[in-house]
Amino acid sequence: MLAILPILSGVVLLVGLLRAAVPASTIQAVFGGDTLRDTLTGSFLGSLLAGNPINSYIIGGQLLEDGVSLYAVGAFVVAWVTVGMVQLPAESIALGRKFALYRNGLAFVMSIPIALTAATLVALLGGIS
């Protein structure tokens, strides 16, 4: 836990700066409320802003507090962890270009039904919506 404390602290500070610089109304404008569009937007942003799971939970929690739908946050978190556009050049060198492109493409496509299914199950079971 001590090893990841600097990373978590940095993320919490960065999220705090982002919340101060970008009002919730701007975030809600990006995620307009349409389930499919929000899910696609979440997947797209998660793909571009790849990172590790611990950070995605902090950012996802803040997005939920700002009124972003669980569908969008779920897609963001899944894509954030599984799709790595930032790491694509290094992954292509290490594992081959074809494999890296297939893996990232499939992870992006699968982040959408995974998010839709997870958010629907949470809503059906009486969780957050």
Q: Domain-by-domain residue ranges, the chain?
A: 5-124
Q: How far apart are CA 36 and CA 90, in angstroms?
A: 31
**Confidence (pLDDT) at 54:** 82
Structure tokens at 21: 């610089």
Q: Write down the pTM of the prediction.
A: 0.82
Under 8 Å CB-to-CB from 58, ≥6 apart: which residues?
A: 8, 11, 12, 15
DSSP state of 34: -
pLDDT interval class at 24 (50, 70, 90): confident
DSSP state of 31: S
Residue 45 to residues 56, 78, 115, Cα–Cα distance (Å): 12, 11, 14
pLDDT tens-digit profile of 65-119?
Answer: 888 999 999 999 999 999 988 888 888 999 999 999 999 999 999 999 999 999 9
| 8 Å CB contact between 91 and 62 | no
pLDDT tens-digit profile of 42-58?
Answer: 999 999 887 788 888 88
**Confidence (pLDDT) at 129:** 52
pLDDT at 121 over 90: yes
